[in-house]
Amino acid sequence: MPIFPAVLPRCFRRGLITALALATVVCCATVESTTAGAAEDRPLNVLLITVDDMNWDSLGVTGCKIPQITPNIDKLAREGMLFTHGHVTIAVCQPCREVLMTGRYPDRNGGRGFQPIRTDVPTLQESLDRADYFQGIMAKVPHLAPQSKFCWDVVVDAGQLGAGRDPKLFYQHAKAFFEQAKAQGKPFFLMANSQDPHRPFPRSAQQQQKTAGKEGTPRRAGSSPGVTRVIRPEEVEVPGFLPDIPDVREEVAQYFTAVHRCDQAVGGVLKALEETGLADDTLVMLLSDNGMAFPFAKTNVYLASTRTPWIVRWPGVVAPGGIDREHFISGIDFMPTVLDAAGLPQVDGMDGRSFAPVLRGEKQPQRDHVYTVFHETSGRKSFEMRSIQTARFGYLFNPWSDGETVFKNESQSGLTFRAMQLAAQGDPALAARVKLFQYRVVEEFYDYQNDPCALRNLIDDPQYQAEIDNLRGRMHQIMKSIDDPLLEAFEEITGQESR
């Protein structure tokens, strides 16, 4: 039996796809390179690896103090460039991926929540299909919809990858895909999606319950396929936006066990690429689709929500070991960058722009901020949020906050949020933190340079009013330029219309 399904008719291969898991994306394209330092007659392969729900600082290369937590991703960063200001446009899985593949904000591609994009919106896969790319996806298949807009030659669903989490299966399927692309002599785009470190975490009660529900037989919490290292609570550093209490520390340890397994899956994909002799001709990008599924991260617009460990390795173009601390890049920029790097025409209507010039060593001075959005959770509950961030400050607009509506997302499952609520009964400061998470306020403003965990809302501090007005004004201009449906509410609440 072949490792992956037989090749299906081009641009019509989605009907047989089943439910999947995490995301590791690999894009590969073979074109004549017009980039200095790359051989003109070599194909350019693009590998995009996405990981699921991983915070920016969960990697060794971005500051995690757990020894050898992510050796494969750290090695990739040493071989390429790490962006310290890389952001996804929307911090939830399906909309995030649809932004990547359209170069448009969710309101402009139609995928505001867990819905398909509009059929009139061009996709990256359609552009690559016209250029005769060999394209594949591993896991997270339903999170790019409708299927007719995404031209996969090879589809490997999450079930074939051990629920999108088994490193050995990622290696096997990636190796088979690369060998088939090589045999066909075509440029290729592979989106390899790791389900880790998405919930349920290894060794957690959530995982045990999910396994029992599927198989009918309870499995002890410690039995987690593909796990070769278990991170202990005493090894972790609890993120500053969470309280350091026992159950939170326990769940953060479970999360980092998933982070390590995720790194092994990434290593398997990269190993397969190396073994097939394609690594030197491949543009590799790695990023997470959003922050960790804990309070104040995923499905929000805080710094911890959208900041992603965005790594780019481009042999012959990007110097190894680079760290870009200057330029902001965003999910809307992915599609135009891949088209630029592959030498393909840009597509009208995209909101993003290529950062390939930055990869080539050039400056893009206007990349000094990022605009991020949120619309609705996977439970189809609407919580509209907007944010604009610079290297120092972040301004947030939450028009859903009315003092009565209660925010709810998946991060409130598991150990952490319940532990926070229980501990808050005897801790007024933590009680205020829990209340903020559940009810929010209409406007928030943070000095991220000094308060990256967004613990002190400065919206009413007179010392920062000039900066607050500046970011309100910049957000207003962006909202007008993209016809943001919240524009009228923003103008009414902030008074920007009269300025």
**What are the residue ranges spanned by the domains of the chain?**
45-367, 372-498
Quote the radius of gyration of the chain (alpha carbons, Å): 22
Report pLDDT for 225. 80
Residues 158-206: tens digit of each pLDDT: 999 999 999 999 999 999 999 999 999 999 999 999 999 999 999 898 8
- Give buried/exposed letters for 406-439 (b at 16+ CB in 10 A, else e): ebebbbbebbbbebbeebbeeeeebeebbebbeb
Unique residue bearing structure tokens 């910049």: 474
Residue 345: asked if its preceding bond is cis (omega within 30°), the reply is no
Report pLDDT for 26. 36
Which CATH code, of 3.30.930.10, 3.30.40.230, 3.40.720.10, 3.20.20.70, is assigned to 45-367? 3.40.720.10
Kindly give the parts of the chain with pLDDT less than 70: 1-43, 211-223, 498-499
Cβ-based neighbour number of residue 403 at 10 Å: 8
For CA atoms 10, 12, 14, 16, give the dihedral sign.
negative
- Residue 484: Cβ-neighbour burial (10 angstroms; 0-12, 13-18, 19+): buried
DSSP state, 455? -
The SS3 call for residue 193 is strand
Report the candidate in 338, 342, 343, 363 with the shortest Cα–Cα distance to residue 353.
Answer: 338
What is the CATH T-level fold of the domain 372-498, as seen in this structure?
Arylsulfatase, C-terminal domain (3.30.1120)
Torsion of CA 400, 491, 481, 445, to 10 degrees: -60
Note the helical H segments in 166-233.
Answer: 167-184, 205-215
* d(C-alpha 306, C-alpha 331), whole Å: 10
In the chain, the amino acid numbered 308 is T
Report pLDDT for 11. 58
β-pairing, 188-193 with 134-138? parallel
Evaluate whether 308 touches 88 at the Cβ level (below 8 Å). Answer: yes
User: Is there a shared CATH topology between the 45-367 domain and the 372-498 domain?
Assistant: no
Report pLDDT for 214. 53
Evaluate whether 149 touches 117 at the Cβ level (below 8 Å). Answer: yes
